[in-house]
Structure 1
Amino acid sequence: MAERPDLAVVVIGFRAPAELVAAVRSVLDQNIRLEIVVVNTGGGNAKALLADCGIDVRVIDVEERLLAGAARNRGIVATQAPFVAFLADDCLAHPGWAEARLQRHREGIPAVASAISNSHPRNLVACAAHLVTYMRRLPGLPAEKAQRYGVSFDRTLFERYGVFDERMRSGEDTEFLARLPEALRPVWEPRVLTIHRNETSLFKLLADQYRRGRRYGVYLGSIDAEKSVRPFRKVFRDRRNVGKLAKEGLSGKERTFARLSLPIVWIALFAKSLGASVGARYGDKTGRRR
Protein backbone atom coordinates (compact mmCIF):
# COMPACT_ATOMS: atom_id res chain seq x y z
CA MET A 1 0.00 0.00 0.00
CA ALA A 2 1.19 3.52 -0.78
CA GLU A 3 2.24 5.55 2.23
CA ARG A 4 -0.42 7.97 3.41
CA PRO A 5 0.41 11.64 2.68
CA ASP A 6 1.38 13.74 5.69
CA LEU A 7 -0.13 16.97 4.33
CA ALA A 8 -3.73 17.58 3.27
CA VAL A 9 -4.46 20.59 1.06
CA VAL A 10 -7.98 22.00 1.01
CA VAL A 11 -8.55 24.10 -2.11
CA ILE A 12 -11.50 26.45 -1.55
CA GLY A 13 -13.60 27.59 -4.52
CA PHE A 14 -16.62 29.83 -4.88
CA ARG A 15 -19.03 29.14 -7.73
CA ALA A 16 -16.47 26.94 -9.52
CA PRO A 17 -14.45 29.70 -11.23
CA ALA A 18 -12.19 28.85 -14.15
CA GLU A 19 -9.21 29.91 -12.00
CA LEU A 20 -9.86 26.89 -9.79
CA VAL A 21 -8.18 24.68 -12.39
CA ALA A 22 -4.82 26.44 -12.11
CA ALA A 23 -5.03 26.49 -8.32
CA VAL A 24 -5.54 22.72 -8.16
CA ARG A 25 -2.83 22.08 -10.79
CA SER A 26 -0.34 24.08 -8.71
CA VAL A 27 -0.99 21.70 -5.80
CA LEU A 28 -0.79 18.60 -7.99
CA ASP A 29 2.55 19.86 -9.35
CA GLN A 30 4.18 19.89 -5.91
CA ASN A 31 7.03 17.40 -5.68
CA ILE A 32 5.55 15.35 -2.82
CA ARG A 33 2.41 13.27 -2.39
CA LEU A 34 -0.51 15.19 -0.94
CA GLU A 35 -4.07 14.52 0.14
CA ILE A 36 -6.15 16.96 -1.90
CA VAL A 37 -9.79 17.93 -1.55
CA VAL A 38 -11.63 20.75 -3.29
CA VAL A 39 -14.47 22.42 -1.39
CA ASN A 40 -16.59 24.49 -3.78
CA THR A 41 -19.61 26.40 -2.50
CA GLY A 42 -22.21 28.76 -3.92
CA GLY A 43 -23.10 26.61 -6.93
CA GLY A 44 -21.32 25.60 -10.08
CA ASN A 45 -19.93 22.15 -10.84
CA ALA A 46 -16.30 22.08 -9.78
CA LYS A 47 -16.05 18.33 -10.28
CA ALA A 48 -17.05 18.61 -13.94
CA LEU A 49 -14.84 21.68 -14.45
CA LEU A 50 -11.79 19.83 -13.19
CA ALA A 51 -12.66 16.57 -14.94
CA ASP A 52 -12.92 18.41 -18.28
CA CYS A 53 -9.29 19.48 -17.72
CA GLY A 54 -8.15 15.96 -16.90
CA ILE A 55 -7.93 16.53 -13.15
CA ASP A 56 -9.15 13.76 -10.87
CA VAL A 57 -9.28 14.85 -7.23
CA ARG A 58 -11.92 14.61 -4.54
CA VAL A 59 -14.48 17.42 -4.86
CA ILE A 60 -17.17 18.53 -2.43
CA ASP A 61 -19.70 20.70 -4.27
CA VAL A 62 -22.11 22.61 -2.03
CA GLU A 63 -24.98 24.46 -3.68
CA GLU A 64 -25.42 27.00 -0.89
CA ARG A 65 -22.79 29.63 -0.23
CA LEU A 66 -20.63 28.81 2.76
CA LEU A 67 -18.49 31.41 4.46
CA ALA A 68 -14.76 30.75 4.57
CA GLY A 69 -14.78 29.18 8.03
CA ALA A 70 -17.43 26.66 7.06
CA ALA A 71 -15.62 25.78 3.83
CA ARG A 72 -12.38 25.26 5.76
CA ASN A 73 -14.16 23.02 8.25
CA ARG A 74 -15.65 20.86 5.49
CA GLY A 75 -12.15 20.28 4.22
CA ILE A 76 -10.78 19.44 7.66
CA VAL A 77 -13.48 16.82 8.21
CA ALA A 78 -13.01 15.36 4.71
CA THR A 79 -9.25 14.76 5.11
CA GLN A 80 -7.08 12.59 7.34
CA ALA A 81 -3.45 13.72 6.94
CA PRO A 82 -1.84 14.90 10.19
CA PHE A 83 -1.23 18.41 8.81
CA VAL A 84 -3.74 20.60 6.94
CA ALA A 85 -3.13 23.55 4.57
CA PHE A 86 -5.58 25.73 2.65
CA LEU A 87 -5.43 27.42 -0.76
CA ALA A 88 -7.98 29.86 -2.22
CA ASP A 89 -9.07 29.62 -5.84
CA ASP A 90 -7.40 32.95 -6.69
CA CYS A 91 -4.01 31.69 -5.55
CA LEU A 92 -1.31 29.31 -6.73
CA ALA A 93 1.11 27.21 -4.72
CA HIS A 94 4.67 28.08 -5.71
CA PRO A 95 7.02 25.10 -6.33
CA GLY A 96 8.24 23.85 -2.94
CA TRP A 97 5.18 25.27 -1.13
CA ALA A 98 4.17 21.92 0.34
CA GLU A 99 7.65 20.54 0.98
CA ALA A 100 8.73 23.62 2.97
CA ARG A 101 5.57 23.40 5.08
CA LEU A 102 6.11 19.75 5.87
CA GLN A 103 9.74 20.29 6.75
CA ARG A 104 8.78 22.77 9.48
CA HIS A 105 5.89 20.64 10.72
CA ARG A 106 8.18 17.60 10.99
CA GLU A 107 10.54 19.73 13.08
CA GLY A 108 7.71 20.02 15.60
CA ILE A 109 6.17 23.34 14.50
CA PRO A 110 2.36 23.07 14.88
CA ALA A 111 1.44 26.09 12.69
CA VAL A 112 3.39 27.41 9.67
CA ALA A 113 2.63 30.78 8.03
CA SER A 114 3.37 31.64 4.39
CA ALA A 115 4.59 34.61 2.37
CA ILE A 116 2.76 36.02 -0.66
CA SER A 117 4.16 36.89 -4.08
CA ASN A 118 2.57 38.92 -6.88
CA SER A 119 1.29 37.19 -10.01
CA HIS A 120 1.97 40.31 -12.13
CA PRO A 121 5.11 41.93 -10.63
CA ARG A 122 5.56 44.39 -13.52
CA ASN A 123 1.99 45.66 -13.70
CA LEU A 124 1.62 48.82 -11.59
CA VAL A 125 -2.03 48.22 -10.69
CA ALA A 126 -1.28 44.63 -9.67
CA CYS A 127 1.72 45.84 -7.66
CA ALA A 128 -0.49 48.34 -5.85
CA ALA A 129 -3.11 45.66 -5.17
CA HIS A 130 -0.40 43.40 -3.80
CA LEU A 131 1.07 46.02 -1.50
CA VAL A 132 -2.27 47.19 -0.12
CA THR A 133 -3.36 43.66 0.73
CA TYR A 134 -0.10 41.86 1.51
CA MET A 135 2.49 44.48 2.50
CA ARG A 136 3.15 42.55 5.72
CA ARG A 137 3.54 39.18 4.00
CA LEU A 138 6.27 40.06 1.51
CA PRO A 139 8.88 37.28 1.29
CA GLY A 140 11.87 39.43 2.27
CA LEU A 141 10.44 40.64 5.55
CA PRO A 142 12.04 39.56 8.83
CA ALA A 143 9.88 37.47 11.12
CA GLU A 144 9.26 40.30 13.59
CA LYS A 145 7.56 42.42 10.88
CA ALA A 146 5.58 39.68 9.14
CA GLN A 147 1.91 38.89 9.63
CA ARG A 148 1.32 35.18 10.23
CA TYR A 149 -1.41 34.10 7.81
CA GLY A 150 -1.79 31.50 5.07
CA VAL A 151 -1.25 28.99 7.84
CA SER A 152 -1.05 25.20 7.75
CA PHE A 153 -1.89 23.41 10.99
CA ASP A 154 -1.19 20.28 12.93
CA ARG A 155 -4.60 18.58 12.95
CA THR A 156 -4.48 18.10 16.70
CA LEU A 157 -4.90 21.88 17.14
CA PHE A 158 -8.47 21.59 15.82
CA GLU A 159 -9.15 18.75 18.23
CA ARG A 160 -7.85 20.78 21.18
CA TYR A 161 -9.04 24.30 20.33
CA GLY A 162 -12.03 23.77 18.05
CA VAL A 163 -12.45 24.63 14.38
CA PHE A 164 -13.08 27.86 12.46
CA ASP A 165 -16.05 30.09 13.25
CA GLU A 166 -18.57 29.46 10.47
CA ARG A 167 -20.54 32.69 11.02
CA MET A 168 -17.81 35.23 10.32
CA ARG A 169 -17.70 36.93 6.92
CA SER A 170 -13.98 37.52 7.37
CA GLY A 171 -11.34 37.15 10.04
CA GLU A 172 -12.15 33.51 10.83
CA ASP A 173 -8.44 32.66 10.75
CA THR A 174 -7.59 35.61 13.02
CA GLU A 175 -10.23 34.49 15.50
CA PHE A 176 -8.94 30.91 15.49
CA LEU A 177 -5.30 31.94 15.90
CA ALA A 178 -6.25 34.10 18.89
CA ARG A 179 -7.41 30.94 20.68
CA LEU A 180 -3.97 29.36 20.47
CA PRO A 181 -1.47 29.78 23.31
CA GLU A 182 1.54 31.94 22.44
CA ALA A 183 3.80 28.89 22.14
CA LEU A 184 1.58 27.43 19.41
CA ARG A 185 1.20 30.58 17.28
CA PRO A 186 2.37 30.30 13.63
CA VAL A 187 6.03 30.43 12.67
CA TRP A 188 6.94 32.70 9.72
CA GLU A 189 8.36 30.66 6.85
CA PRO A 190 8.90 32.74 3.68
CA ARG A 191 10.01 29.65 1.73
CA VAL A 192 6.33 28.71 1.76
CA LEU A 193 5.33 31.04 -1.04
CA THR A 194 1.76 31.52 -2.24
CA ILE A 195 1.19 33.40 -5.51
CA HIS A 196 -1.83 35.69 -5.44
CA ARG A 197 -3.52 36.66 -8.71
CA ASN A 198 -3.95 40.39 -8.24
CA GLU A 199 -6.27 42.79 -10.04
CA THR A 200 -4.81 44.56 -13.09
CA SER A 201 -7.77 46.94 -13.60
CA LEU A 202 -7.76 50.13 -11.54
CA PHE A 203 -11.56 50.20 -11.24
CA LYS A 204 -11.67 46.55 -10.11
CA LEU A 205 -8.83 47.19 -7.68
CA LEU A 206 -10.67 50.06 -5.99
CA ALA A 207 -13.92 48.10 -5.85
CA ASP A 208 -12.11 45.08 -4.40
CA GLN A 209 -10.34 47.15 -1.77
CA TYR A 210 -13.59 48.83 -0.75
CA ARG A 211 -15.17 45.39 -0.28
CA ARG A 212 -12.18 44.12 1.68
CA GLY A 213 -12.26 47.23 3.83
CA ARG A 214 -15.96 46.85 4.49
CA ARG A 215 -15.52 43.23 5.59
CA TYR A 216 -12.69 44.32 7.86
CA GLY A 217 -14.86 47.10 9.28
CA VAL A 218 -17.65 44.62 10.02
CA TYR A 219 -15.09 42.46 11.83
CA LEU A 220 -13.81 45.43 13.84
CA GLY A 221 -17.37 46.41 14.71
CA SER A 222 -18.06 42.87 15.93
CA ILE A 223 -15.15 42.87 18.38
CA ASP A 224 -15.07 46.51 19.39
CA ALA A 225 -17.79 49.10 18.85
CA GLU A 226 -15.37 51.72 17.54
CA LYS A 227 -16.50 55.03 16.13
CA SER A 228 -16.58 54.88 12.36
CA VAL A 229 -13.68 57.33 11.97
CA ARG A 230 -11.31 55.04 13.86
CA PRO A 231 -11.39 52.15 11.37
CA PHE A 232 -10.71 54.68 8.61
CA ARG A 233 -7.61 55.93 10.38
CA LYS A 234 -6.56 52.40 11.35
CA VAL A 235 -6.39 51.38 7.68
CA PHE A 236 -5.25 54.64 6.05
CA ARG A 237 -2.27 55.09 8.34
CA ASP A 238 -0.62 52.20 6.46
CA ARG A 239 0.34 54.76 3.81
CA ARG A 240 3.20 55.64 6.15
CA ASN A 241 4.51 52.06 6.24
CA VAL A 242 3.97 50.65 2.78
CA GLY A 243 7.05 52.17 1.12
CA LYS A 244 9.34 50.98 3.93
CA LEU A 245 7.90 47.47 3.85
CA ALA A 246 8.22 47.26 0.05
CA LYS A 247 11.86 48.33 0.27
CA GLU A 248 12.59 45.69 2.88
CA GLY A 249 10.36 42.88 1.62
CA LEU A 250 11.11 43.01 -2.11
CA SER A 251 14.22 43.21 -4.26
CA GLY A 252 15.39 44.00 -7.78
CA LYS A 253 12.87 44.99 -10.44
CA GLU A 254 9.98 43.80 -8.32
CA ARG A 255 10.90 46.42 -5.71
CA THR A 256 11.27 49.09 -8.41
CA PHE A 257 7.81 48.46 -9.86
CA ALA A 258 6.30 48.29 -6.38
CA ARG A 259 7.69 51.70 -5.48
CA LEU A 260 6.43 53.15 -8.78
CA SER A 261 2.95 51.93 -7.85
CA LEU A 262 2.81 53.87 -4.56
CA PRO A 263 0.48 56.66 -5.83
CA ILE A 264 -2.04 53.95 -6.78
CA VAL A 265 -1.48 52.30 -3.40
CA TRP A 266 -2.53 55.46 -1.57
CA ILE A 267 -5.73 55.75 -3.64
CA ALA A 268 -6.52 52.08 -2.98
CA LEU A 269 -5.86 52.53 0.73
CA PHE A 270 -8.34 55.40 0.76
CA ALA A 271 -10.98 53.12 -0.83
CA LYS A 272 -10.22 50.37 1.68
CA SER A 273 -10.35 52.84 4.58
CA LEU A 274 -13.71 54.17 3.42
CA GLY A 275 -15.04 50.61 3.24
CA ALA A 276 -13.77 49.91 6.76
CA SER A 277 -15.55 52.98 8.10
CA VAL A 278 -18.83 52.01 6.42
CA GLY A 279 -18.54 48.38 7.54
CA ALA A 280 -17.90 49.32 11.16
CA ARG A 281 -20.84 51.75 11.21
CA TYR A 282 -23.48 49.82 9.26
CA GLY A 283 -22.48 46.18 9.74
CA ASP A 284 -22.93 43.42 7.22
CA LYS A 285 -24.89 43.34 3.97
CA THR A 286 -28.17 42.80 5.74
CA GLY A 287 -27.94 46.41 6.81
CA ARG A 288 -27.95 45.74 10.53
CA ARG A 289 -26.18 48.39 12.57
CA ARG A 290 -23.49 47.35 15.00
Structure 2
Amino acid sequence: MADGPELAVVVIGFRAPTNLVAAVRSVLDQNIPFEIVVVNSGGGNAGTLLADAGLDVPVIEFEHRLFAGAARNRGIAATKAPFIAFLADDCLACPGWAEVRLRRHREGAAAVASAIVNSHPRNPVACAAHLITYMRRLPGLPAEKAQRYGVSFDRKLFDRYGLFDEQLASGEDTEFMARLPEAMQPVWEPQILTVHRNETRLLEMLADQYRRGRRYGAYLGSVGGENPARPFRKVFRDRRIVGKLAKAGLSGKERTFALLSLPIVWLALFAKSLGAAVGARHGDKEGRRP
Protein backbone atom coordinates (compact mmCIF):
# COMPACT_ATOMS: atom_id res chain seq x y z
CA MET A 1 0.00 0.00 0.00
CA ALA A 2 1.18 3.49 -0.86
CA ASP A 3 0.57 4.76 2.68
CA GLY A 4 2.11 1.71 4.38
CA PRO A 5 0.62 -1.30 6.18
CA GLU A 6 -2.69 -0.95 8.00
CA LEU A 7 -1.76 -3.23 10.90
CA ALA A 8 1.12 -2.97 13.37
CA VAL A 9 2.10 -5.88 15.62
CA VAL A 10 3.97 -5.24 18.87
CA VAL A 11 5.71 -8.35 20.21
CA ILE A 12 6.45 -8.01 23.92
CA GLY A 13 9.47 -9.79 25.39
CA PHE A 14 10.81 -10.05 28.91
CA ARG A 15 14.50 -10.88 29.35
CA ALA A 16 14.69 -12.05 25.73
CA PRO A 17 13.54 -15.67 26.19
CA THR A 18 14.28 -18.16 23.45
CA ASN A 19 10.51 -18.43 22.86
CA LEU A 20 10.67 -14.92 21.46
CA VAL A 21 12.10 -16.27 18.21
CA ALA A 22 9.09 -18.47 17.53
CA ALA A 23 6.68 -15.69 18.52
CA VAL A 24 8.26 -13.25 16.06
CA ARG A 25 8.46 -15.88 13.34
CA SER A 26 4.76 -16.66 13.72
CA VAL A 27 4.02 -13.00 13.02
CA LEU A 28 6.37 -12.84 10.06
CA ASP A 29 4.56 -15.87 8.59
CA GLN A 30 1.29 -13.92 8.33
CA ASN A 31 0.11 -13.37 4.76
CA ILE A 32 -0.58 -9.61 4.76
CA PRO A 33 1.68 -6.55 4.90
CA PHE A 34 2.19 -5.22 8.44
CA GLU A 35 4.52 -3.30 10.69
CA ILE A 36 6.32 -5.16 13.44
CA VAL A 37 8.35 -4.04 16.43
CA VAL A 38 9.72 -6.04 19.34
CA VAL A 39 9.77 -4.38 22.76
CA ASN A 40 12.00 -6.27 25.18
CA SER A 41 12.72 -5.26 28.76
CA GLY A 42 14.70 -6.70 31.64
CA GLY A 43 17.85 -7.26 29.57
CA GLY A 44 18.84 -10.34 27.62
CA ASN A 45 19.63 -8.72 24.23
CA ALA A 46 16.62 -9.63 22.10
CA GLY A 47 18.19 -8.00 19.05
CA THR A 48 21.10 -10.44 19.02
CA LEU A 49 18.81 -13.40 19.77
CA LEU A 50 16.58 -12.62 16.79
CA ALA A 51 19.46 -11.74 14.47
CA ASP A 52 21.17 -15.05 15.25
CA ALA A 53 17.92 -16.76 14.23
CA GLY A 54 17.94 -14.90 10.91
CA LEU A 55 15.12 -12.51 11.85
CA ASP A 56 15.62 -8.88 10.85
CA VAL A 57 13.02 -6.84 12.75
CA PRO A 58 13.09 -3.55 14.70
CA VAL A 59 13.84 -4.13 18.39
CA ILE A 60 13.54 -1.69 21.28
CA GLU A 61 15.54 -2.79 24.31
CA PHE A 62 15.26 -1.74 27.96
CA GLU A 63 17.63 -3.00 30.61
CA HIS A 64 15.08 -2.31 33.33
CA ARG A 65 11.81 -4.22 33.56
CA LEU A 66 8.71 -2.70 32.04
CA PHE A 67 5.21 -3.71 33.00
CA ALA A 68 3.09 -4.79 30.06
CA GLY A 69 1.31 -1.44 29.83
CA ALA A 70 4.60 0.42 29.42
CA ALA A 71 5.82 -2.11 26.83
CA ARG A 72 2.57 -1.72 24.88
CA ASN A 73 2.91 2.06 24.95
CA ARG A 74 6.48 1.94 23.63
CA GLY A 75 5.27 -0.20 20.75
CA ILE A 76 2.41 2.17 20.01
CA ALA A 77 4.84 5.09 19.87
CA ALA A 78 7.22 3.19 17.57
CA THR A 79 4.60 2.30 14.92
CA LYS A 80 2.33 4.23 12.56
CA ALA A 81 -0.27 1.76 11.24
CA PRO A 82 -3.89 2.70 12.03
CA PHE A 83 -4.57 -0.62 13.83
CA ILE A 84 -2.36 -2.17 16.49
CA ALA A 85 -2.15 -5.76 17.78
CA PHE A 86 -0.01 -7.22 20.56
CA LEU A 87 1.61 -10.63 21.06
CA ALA A 88 3.41 -11.90 24.17
CA ASP A 89 6.66 -13.83 23.89
CA ASP A 90 5.02 -17.03 25.20
CA CYS A 91 2.42 -17.04 22.41
CA LEU A 92 2.22 -17.83 18.71
CA ALA A 93 0.02 -16.21 16.08
CA CYS A 94 -1.86 -18.84 14.07
CA PRO A 95 -2.36 -18.53 10.27
CA GLY A 96 -4.90 -15.81 9.53
CA TRP A 97 -4.26 -14.08 12.87
CA ALA A 98 -3.42 -10.76 11.22
CA GLU A 99 -5.67 -11.05 8.15
CA VAL A 100 -8.89 -11.69 10.11
CA ARG A 101 -8.09 -8.90 12.56
CA LEU A 102 -7.61 -6.42 9.76
CA ARG A 103 -10.81 -7.52 8.04
CA ARG A 104 -12.86 -6.94 11.19
CA HIS A 105 -11.28 -3.52 11.67
CA ARG A 106 -12.02 -2.60 8.07
CA GLU A 107 -15.63 -3.62 8.70
CA GLY A 108 -15.80 -0.97 11.40
CA ALA A 109 -14.74 -2.65 14.67
CA ALA A 110 -12.68 -0.32 16.85
CA ALA A 111 -11.34 -3.25 18.90
CA VAL A 112 -11.16 -6.96 18.06
CA ALA A 113 -10.73 -9.77 20.62
CA SER A 114 -9.28 -13.20 19.90
CA ALA A 115 -9.46 -16.81 21.10
CA ILE A 116 -6.71 -18.89 22.70
CA VAL A 117 -5.71 -22.48 21.93
CA ASN A 118 -3.60 -24.85 24.02
CA SER A 119 -0.03 -25.61 23.00
CA HIS A 120 -0.24 -29.14 24.53
CA PRO A 121 -3.89 -30.26 24.20
CA ARG A 122 -3.18 -33.83 25.34
CA ASN A 123 -1.07 -33.04 28.38
CA PRO A 124 -3.33 -33.02 31.49
CA VAL A 125 -1.29 -30.39 33.32
CA ALA A 126 -1.23 -28.10 30.28
CA CYS A 127 -4.97 -28.67 29.80
CA ALA A 128 -5.62 -27.68 33.39
CA ALA A 129 -3.47 -24.56 33.08
CA HIS A 130 -5.22 -23.63 29.86
CA LEU A 131 -8.71 -24.04 31.29
CA ILE A 132 -7.95 -22.01 34.40
CA THR A 133 -6.40 -19.12 32.52
CA TYR A 134 -8.41 -19.12 29.29
CA MET A 135 -11.72 -20.88 30.00
CA ARG A 136 -13.56 -17.78 28.78
CA ARG A 137 -11.50 -17.46 25.58
CA LEU A 138 -11.99 -20.94 24.12
CA PRO A 139 -12.65 -20.79 20.36
CA GLY A 140 -16.01 -22.55 20.44
CA LEU A 141 -17.63 -20.16 22.90
CA PRO A 142 -20.54 -18.00 21.75
CA ALA A 143 -20.01 -14.26 21.98
CA GLU A 144 -22.20 -13.87 25.07
CA LYS A 145 -19.95 -16.22 27.06
CA ALA A 146 -16.57 -15.05 25.75
CA GLN A 147 -14.18 -12.75 27.58
CA ARG A 148 -12.76 -10.06 25.30
CA TYR A 149 -8.95 -10.09 25.51
CA GLY A 150 -6.07 -10.53 23.08
CA VAL A 151 -7.37 -7.32 21.58
CA SER A 152 -6.17 -5.24 18.64
CA PHE A 153 -7.17 -1.58 18.63
CA ASP A 154 -7.82 1.32 16.31
CA ARG A 155 -4.98 3.76 17.03
CA LYS A 156 -7.48 6.60 17.36
CA LEU A 157 -8.67 5.06 20.64
CA PHE A 158 -5.33 5.86 22.26
CA ASP A 159 -5.48 9.45 21.02
CA ARG A 160 -8.98 9.82 22.44
CA TYR A 161 -8.87 7.81 25.67
CA GLY A 162 -5.19 7.78 26.59
CA LEU A 163 -2.58 5.03 26.71
CA PHE A 164 -2.22 1.96 28.93
CA ASP A 165 -1.50 2.47 32.62
CA GLU A 166 2.24 1.85 33.01
CA GLN A 167 2.13 1.38 36.78
CA LEU A 168 -0.11 -1.71 36.83
CA ALA A 169 1.71 -5.03 37.14
CA SER A 170 -1.28 -6.66 35.43
CA GLY A 171 -4.74 -5.74 34.20
CA GLU A 172 -3.55 -2.85 32.05
CA ASP A 173 -5.82 -3.93 29.18
CA THR A 174 -8.79 -4.34 31.54
CA GLU A 175 -8.22 -0.83 32.90
CA PHE A 176 -7.91 0.66 29.41
CA MET A 177 -11.01 -1.04 28.04
CA ALA A 178 -13.00 0.16 31.05
CA ARG A 179 -12.46 3.69 29.71
CA LEU A 180 -14.00 2.86 26.35
CA PRO A 181 -17.69 3.52 25.69
CA GLU A 182 -19.96 0.57 24.91
CA ALA A 183 -19.80 1.19 21.17
CA MET A 184 -16.01 0.86 21.24
CA GLN A 185 -15.82 -2.38 23.25
CA PRO A 186 -14.07 -5.32 21.53
CA VAL A 187 -15.97 -7.63 19.21
CA TRP A 188 -15.43 -11.38 19.71
CA GLU A 189 -13.69 -13.05 16.77
CA PRO A 190 -12.92 -16.74 17.47
CA GLN A 191 -11.37 -17.18 14.02
CA ILE A 192 -8.37 -15.27 15.35
CA LEU A 193 -6.38 -17.93 17.19
CA THR A 194 -3.36 -17.45 19.42
CA VAL A 195 -1.43 -20.42 20.78
CA HIS A 196 -0.37 -20.08 24.41
CA ARG A 197 2.54 -22.18 25.66
CA ASN A 198 1.15 -23.74 28.83
CA GLU A 199 3.23 -25.27 31.62
CA THR A 200 3.36 -29.08 31.40
CA ARG A 201 4.83 -29.84 34.86
CA LEU A 202 2.50 -29.98 37.85
CA LEU A 203 4.54 -28.16 40.53
CA GLU A 204 5.63 -25.46 38.10
CA MET A 205 2.04 -25.00 36.93
CA LEU A 206 0.75 -24.67 40.50
CA ALA A 207 3.44 -22.09 41.26
CA ASP A 208 2.57 -20.18 38.10
CA GLN A 209 -1.13 -20.13 38.99
CA TYR A 210 -0.29 -18.89 42.49
CA ARG A 211 1.74 -16.04 40.94
CA ARG A 212 -1.06 -15.21 38.51
CA GLY A 213 -3.52 -15.17 41.39
CA ARG A 214 -1.26 -12.94 43.44
CA ARG A 215 -0.98 -10.43 40.60
CA TYR A 216 -4.75 -10.50 40.14
CA GLY A 217 -5.34 -10.01 43.87
CA ALA A 218 -2.86 -7.14 43.93
CA TYR A 219 -4.71 -5.54 41.02
CA LEU A 220 -8.07 -5.89 42.79
CA GLY A 221 -6.58 -4.49 45.95
CA SER A 222 -5.10 -1.50 44.10
CA VAL A 223 -8.32 -0.50 42.35
CA GLY A 224 -10.91 -1.43 44.95
CA GLY A 225 -9.31 -2.11 48.31
CA GLU A 226 -10.55 -5.70 48.23
CA ASN A 227 -10.89 -7.75 51.41
CA PRO A 228 -8.55 -10.76 50.91
CA ALA A 229 -11.41 -13.22 51.35
CA ARG A 230 -13.31 -11.76 48.44
CA PRO A 231 -10.62 -12.36 45.74
CA PHE A 232 -10.21 -15.92 47.05
CA ARG A 233 -13.92 -16.62 46.60
CA LYS A 234 -14.01 -14.75 43.29
CA VAL A 235 -11.33 -17.00 41.79
CA PHE A 236 -12.32 -20.29 43.41
CA ARG A 237 -15.95 -20.08 42.28
CA ASP A 238 -14.70 -20.71 38.72
CA ARG A 239 -14.69 -24.40 39.67
CA ARG A 240 -18.47 -24.33 39.19
CA ILE A 241 -18.37 -23.28 35.55
CA VAL A 242 -15.06 -24.50 34.12
CA GLY A 243 -16.48 -27.85 33.00
CA LYS A 244 -19.44 -26.20 31.30
CA LEU A 245 -17.20 -23.77 29.44
CA ALA A 246 -14.88 -26.59 28.35
CA LYS A 247 -17.86 -28.50 26.92
CA ALA A 248 -19.10 -25.41 25.10
CA GLY A 249 -15.75 -24.08 23.90
CA LEU A 250 -13.92 -27.25 22.86
CA SER A 251 -14.72 -30.29 20.73
CA GLY A 252 -13.48 -33.79 19.95
CA LYS A 253 -10.43 -35.20 21.67
CA GLU A 254 -9.36 -31.78 22.88
CA ARG A 255 -12.58 -31.51 24.92
CA THR A 256 -12.13 -35.07 26.22
CA PHE A 257 -8.61 -34.40 27.49
CA ALA A 258 -9.67 -31.07 28.98
CA LEU A 259 -12.50 -32.66 30.95
CA LEU A 260 -10.18 -35.41 32.21
CA SER A 261 -7.93 -32.68 33.62
CA LEU A 262 -10.65 -31.22 35.90
CA PRO A 263 -9.25 -32.68 39.17
CA ILE A 264 -5.99 -30.85 38.44
CA VAL A 265 -7.98 -27.74 37.55
CA TRP A 266 -9.63 -27.66 40.96
CA LEU A 267 -6.27 -28.07 42.71
CA ALA A 268 -4.72 -25.29 40.65
CA LEU A 269 -7.72 -23.03 41.21
CA PHE A 270 -7.12 -23.36 44.95
CA ALA A 271 -3.48 -22.29 44.43
CA LYS A 272 -4.57 -19.34 42.30
CA SER A 273 -7.24 -18.36 44.82
CA LEU A 274 -4.70 -18.45 47.64
CA GLY A 275 -2.42 -16.23 45.60
CA ALA A 276 -5.29 -13.80 45.00
CA ALA A 277 -5.94 -13.53 48.73
CA VAL A 278 -2.26 -12.90 49.47
CA GLY A 279 -2.00 -10.37 46.65
CA ALA A 280 -5.02 -8.44 47.89
CA ARG A 281 -3.47 -8.20 51.35
CA HIS A 282 0.23 -7.73 50.56
CA GLY A 283 0.43 -6.77 46.88
CA ASP A 284 2.65 -8.37 44.26
CA LYS A 285 6.01 -8.22 45.98
CA GLU A 286 7.65 -10.42 43.37
CA GLY A 287 7.11 -7.68 40.79
CA ARG A 288 6.79 -10.10 37.88
CA ARG A 289 5.16 -9.04 34.66
CA PRO A 290 1.72 -10.35 33.69
Deviations 1:178-215 (A, max 9, x none): 00001100000001111000000001100000000000
Query: Where does 1:1-290 land on structure 2 (aligned, <5 Å)?
Result: 4-285=4-285
Alpha carbon RMSD of aligned pairs, Å? 1.1
Query: So what's the TM-score if we normalise by structure 2?
Result: 0.97
Deviations 1:16-68 (A, max 9, x none): 00000000000000011110000000001101000001000000011110110
Distance apart, 1:224 and its partner CA = 1.5
SS at match of 1:167: coil
**Partners of 1:270 and 1:136 in 2: CA distance:** 18
**Partners of 2:2 and 2:199 in 1: CA distance:** 41
Distance apart, 1:227 and its partner CA = 1.6
**Gap regions ≥5 residues in structure 1:** none
Q: How many residues align?
A: 287
Write the letter of the residue equivalent to 1:215: R
Distance apart, 1:226 and its partner CA = 2.2
Write the letter of the residue equivalent to 2:122: R
Deviations 1:195-246 (A, max 9, x none): 0000000011000000000000001111222221111000000000000000
Write the letter of the residue equivalent to 1:124: P
Identity of aligned residues (%): 80
Distance apart, 1:284 and its partner CA = 2.8
**Partners of 1:278 and 1:233 in 2: CA distance:** 13
Distance apart, 1:3 and its partner CA = 5.4
SS at match of 1:136: coil
Write the letter of the residue equivalent to 1:9: V
Write the letter of the residue equivalent to 1:140: G
**Partners of 1:85 and 1:262 in 2: CA distance:** 32
**Gap regions ≥5 residues in structure 2:** none
Write the letter of the residue equivalent to 1:226: E
Query: So what's the TM-score if we normalise by structure 1?
Result: 0.97
Q: Write out the 4+ residue segments of structure 1 that deviate beyond 2 Å after TM superposition.
A: none
